Amino acid sequence: AQSVTQLDSQVPVFEEAPVELRCNYSSSVSVYLFWYVQYPNQGLQLLLKYLSGSTLVKGINGFEAEFNKSQTSFHLRKPSVHISDTAEYFCAVTWGGATNKLIFGTGTLLAVQP
């Protein structure tokens, strides 16, 4: 079955430090990749997406992610985090085909400390 894995349930980091949130998926066939952010008691907001083209994708709030087909990964990075980046981050994948179902990972809590 197709799956999305976020190995880190929580990532603590100091303010202004760089961060990487990891995401791996099960198959690269016709894959589309997304990162969403969820602030407390809020819905999900799209940070960035990879549909095709350049493997380095830039999103909102200074985040970027790189599609690595050989490693089936789509890690999210930011060179310098702020307190306001504290939130839950979800990687999501959809595989082309009849179902077109968006499957989410279990999420990573980014905890930015002063």
Partner 1 sequence: EAGVVQSPRYKIIEKKQPVAFWCNPISGHNTLYWYRQNLGQGPELLIRYENEEAVDDSQLPKDRFSAERLKGVDSTLKIQPAELGDSAVYLCASSFGQLNTEAFFGQGTRLTVV
Q: Closest approach of Cβ 76 to partner 1, in Å?
A: 14
Q: Closest approach of Cβ 43 to partner 1, in Å?
A: 4
Nearer to partner 1, 17 or 60 (CB): 60
Q: Closest approach of Cβ 66 to partner 1, in Å?
A: 19
Where do contacts with partner 1 occur on this chain (CB under 8 A)?
Answer: 4, 9, 32, 36, 41-46, 49, 51, 90, 92, 94, 96, 99-107
Q: Are strands 64-68 and 56-58 parallel, antiparallel or unpaired?
A: antiparallel
Nearer to partner 1, 79 or 97 (CB): 97
Q: Where are the beta strands (DSSP E) in the chain?
A: 4-5, 10-14, 19-21, 24-25, 31-38, 44-50, 56-58, 64-68, 73-78, 87-95, 102-104, 108-113
Nearer to partner 1, 13 or 44 (CB): 44
Confirm if 26 and 18 have CB atoms less than 8 A apart: no
